[in-house]
Chains A and B, each alone.
Chain A
Amino acid sequence: MWHIIITSLPEMLVAMVQYTIPLAIIAFIFGLILAVITALIKFIEPSGNKLVKYPYMVIRAIFSFYVWLFRSTPLLVQLFIIFFGLPNIGVQLDPFIAAVIGFSLNTGAYASETIRSALLSVPQDQWDAAYTLGFSTPQTLMKIVLPQAVRIALPPLSNSFIGLFKDTSLASSITILEMFQVSQQITAKNFQPLLMYSLAAFLYAIICTLLSWLQHYLERRTSQYVKGSEA
């Protein structure tokens, strides 16, 4: 048994470093950017000026449709459409690019709701206090409200990232040689599915444990000002 583990481990670790980890990190960064933009568009109320208001409502409807679409369909189906479906209309994507697009859009849709609810949880009093000091709406958002929203959004966003990290195994279905795909290939040669898939599970669990430690560290860092916190 140890012999099998020792011979297949390097190959799986290479796949993890080469595809699994970069895919998770890149998709999460793009997903977060998309999520912040989407959350702000849904959060900010347009001014009364009709020239601003109507185009804004159209943009908001487009973003709402995006969130609805990606929350209402399975991730695996989304990946299949992007990688296998789009070539039918002449859009041929590199598998890694297709995976980054699929995971980013999916993560962005979920995380946008997390960020929006975190923004809503900062009381109106904070806006009033900032306005009376002469802060503009963008300044209030950036300097006062967002920093407080980050603390609230951190645990659910960590959840999203841990979920995304494990979901990268779905990229095996669109021909990416990430860690799970490699474990399948090795299994095809040594006929040890229990051992190989358990090993893959173990490697995912190690990374996810490290991520949850990182989450606790960040939570402590951002909660220094909260009553009763240790820091």
Chain B
Amino acid sequence: MISLKNIVKTYDGKTVLHDISVDFPSGKTTVILGPSGSGKSTLLRSIDLLVRPESGSISFEDFNYDYSQPISSKESFKLRRKTSMVFQNWNLFPNLTVLRNITEAPINVLKLSKDEAESKARDLLDRVGLADLEERYPSQLSGGQQQRISICRALAMNPEYILLDEPTSALDPELETQVLRILEELAKAGQSMIIVTHNMDFARLVSDKIVFIEDGEKVFDNDTKEFFEHPTSRIKDFLSGISIDPDAADNKE
């Protein structure tokens, strides 16, 4: 389990996360929801130290860091070994082939042999249905394909948790579905995931837990079922606000 405690993050004097504490259970899929600008991505990125909160702490079963203290590169490495991030714009390495995008970190960071890393990468590509693209460059592929490859790149590091920052927001609905199916399979296989998303259907069908954040404050933190079956009035507003059907939230009750 990952536990974040009392996270405070400010940008230029503006507080974007107010004292947030939240647990992300292992083996489960947690979805972080909230209006844009609410601080969800900031919260997710602070788990991987891509954002550094001013105060608060993060703990795993076997270690604990205080964000307000200096974190050595050895410590941040230990943390990043446990997590791997998938980005909204996938951020593949444009100068490397698909295969090398996936093998580069296992070879350089995990010190796997080239053969070992490549056979593992091919298994992963096979799993996401892209086995025939290993020699292509990212620019030659669609966004949906690139995002599936970036999921392979994250999985190749055997992280305990996969962190996904709006993984389908830059994709067409059709391509989005391809990516969501893979995430659904991962969730069923018991992969621990934390996903920032705007896709309510995905949140409802796949996630075990929902954290709802608004203006840097945690508004909801409970089971997915609870979120959709007994929404508070604020959650109802949010759900109807993102649907073109004005009764959407009510219909879901």
Contact = CB atoms under 8 A, between A and B. Distances in A.
Interface of A: 48-49, 125-126, 128-137, 139, 143-144, 147-148, 151, 224-227
Interface stretch (B20-28, B84-92, B187-195, B239-247): B84-92
A132 B83 contact: yes
Contacts of B238: none
Given A125-B87, A225-B139, A131 B50 contact: yes
Contacts of B48: 131-132
Given A131-B50, A151-B95, A136 B77 contact: yes
Contacts of B49: 131
A125 B93 contact: no
Contacts of B87: 125, 128-129
A225 B108 contact: no
Contact of A148 (B73, B83, B95): B95
A132 B84 contact: yes
B94 A129 contact: no
B190 to A, nearest CB: 22
Given A128-B50, A128-B91, A225-B95, A134 B140 contact: no
A122 to B, nearest CB: 10
Interface string B86-107: 0101011111100000001100
Interface in B104-138: 104-105, 108-110, 137-138
Interface string B28-60: 000000000000000000001110000000000
Interface residues of B, number: 32
A129 B50 CA distance: 10
Most chain A CB within 10 A, of B48, B87, B93, B104, is at: B93
Contacts of A128: 50, 85, 87, 91
Given A132-B50, A225-B95, 12 more contacts: A128-B87, A131-B80, A133-B104, A133-B109, A134-B110, A134-B157, A136-B73, A147-B95, A148-B93, A148-B95, A225-B94, A225-B139
A49 B71 CA distance: 12
Nearest to B140: A227
Given A125-B91, A147-B95, A225-B139, A132 B85 contact: yes
A125 B91 CA distance: 6
A133 B151 CA distance: 12
Contacts of B89: 125
A87 B73 CA distance: 49
The 5 closest A-B pairs by CB, nearest first: A133-B105, A132-B85, A129-B91, A227-B139, A225-B137
A125 B93 CA distance: 10
B70 A48 contact: yes
14 contacts: A48-B70, A132-B50, A133-B104, A133-B157, A134-B81, A135-B108, A137-B73, A139-B108, A139-B109, A144-B93, A148-B94, A148-B95, A225-B94, A225-B138
